[in-house]
Amino acid sequence: MKKNMRVTVLTHLSGLLAIAGVVPAGNAQSSVTLYGVADTFLEYSNHLRTAAGAASEGGSRVRLNSGGLAGSRWGLRGVEDLGGGVQAVFALESGFNIDAGTMGEAGRLFNRQAFMGLNTKGFGRLTFGRQYTSMFDLLPLFMPLTYAGAYEPMPFLMSPLRVDNAVKYRIERGPLAAQAHYGFGEQVGSWQGNASWGGGASYISGDLGLAAVYDQANGQDTATGSGRMRKVAVAATYAPGAWRLTAGYRWAEETIASGERKHRDDMWWAGVGYRLTPAFQMNAAFYYDDIKATDGSASPPNPRQYVLQGVYAVSKRTDLYGAVAYVRNAGLNFAALATLAPGARSQTGVALGIRHKF
């Protein structure tokens, strides 16, 4: 198979469609690309909660996992030139667990992305369907590990990652990229119930990059109101020569339908990366979350996580990687303490894996 398994349709598609009575005869140029990522890793972790009634209250585990650098997936991307600098585009992307061959989300085939829309030259892109939030799209270059599952607490940082029934607009002009999205909640009798929206911008020029973004997700609209989760993030990156420095801050607040605060926290992160050789990259990352008590009691201990990661490019498509993480006052990737053995307040993880892009 070729590198991207690109299937280019250079035949007169419009002529074939004209026979079917769909469009007038003419020339149309289209392409469909099959792409994907296969990523698996061996992982050791400790202080895990065991089943009720077990002889020990907690222990370590070695397992085969999926998605250490990037989530395993396959997808289809398509584009058709409509003329006048306008293109019709679509994407269908399905996540899977390569360790077990299961779907990334049961019952949802294209769980990662499913959208179509129009892309214009100079006027941006407008798409419709299941799509990533603005926060997800604008921050990957500003994160120390670029959303690596082992071990960047990305879901904690920006959940939800994707929105159903969404309209998204994105425009790029030189070093500036800006976008906004709105997800229809589709609740009968309420525009705001279950709806979500957000937007932001990034500026990357030379060695320096800056980003700012806002996301909001509403709960169901009830007689007492609608709960909501709001998040704001600002971040910066500086990459002189072989070095790459990243830092950022995320504010979050969750309220229930009555308007009472349910959760409030401030998350910080910083990272240092260095390319030792053209094929070998080392990254170090630190994440810290300042959790605010919402009921007048003392705030819980704040979680913090340290990560050291190495990535070696065997080829343009295949990488070998390793990562070591230590987290205090949480489980790995800021998982709740309830996932750990009773009395445990820290966890260590070690991952060795391989990623192949096709």
The answer to whether 145 and 285 are in contact (CB under 8 A) is: yes
C-alpha distances in angstroms, 335 versus 147, 148, 244, 332, 340?
16, 15, 27, 6, 9
User: At which residue do the structure tokens 């007689």 appear?
Assistant: 223
CB-based contacts of 306, cutoff 8 Å, min separation 6: 284, 285, 286, 325, 326, 327
What is the span of the domain harbouring residue 97?
Answer: 35-357
The Cα 238–Cα 140 span in angstroms is 14
The answer to whether 227 and 216 are in contact (CB under 8 A) is: no
The Cα 194–Cα 287 span in angstroms is 30
CATH of the domain at 239: 2.40.160.10
β-pairing, 30-49 vs 346-357, is antiparallel
Domain presence at residue 15: no
Question: Which of 265, 261, 263, 281 is CA-nearest to residue 273?
Answer: 281
Question: Which of 43, 48, 84 is CA-nearest to residue 62?
Answer: 43
Phi, psi (rounded to 5 degrees) for 311: -130, 125
10-residue stretch averages of pLDDT, the chain, 358 residues long:
40 34 52 98 95 67 97 98 97 97 94 98 96 98 98 92 97 97 96 95 97 97 90 98 98 92 95 98 98 80 97 98 98 94 95 98
Question: What pLDDT does 26 receive?
Answer: 45
The Cα 158–Cα 179 span in angstroms is 16
Domain presence at residue 74: yes
Domain presence at residue 28: no
The total of structural domains in the chain comes to: 1
- Per-residue DSSP letter, 138: H
Q: What is the DSSP string of 221-277?
A: -BTTB--EEEEEEEEEEE--TTEEEEEEEEEEEEE-TTS-EEEEEEEEEEEEEEEEE
How many Å separate Cα 118 from the centre of its chain? 23
Domain presence at residue 173: yes
The answer to whether 106 and 186 are in contact (CB under 8 A) is: no
Amino acid at 36: G
Kindly report the number of other CB atoms within 10 A of residue 205's CB atom: 10
Q: What is the DSSP string of 109-154?
A: TT-SEEEEEEEETTTEEEEEEEEE-HHHHHSGGGSTTTT-TTT--H
Question: What pLDDT does 6 receive?
Answer: 42
Strand, coil or helix: what is 136?
helix
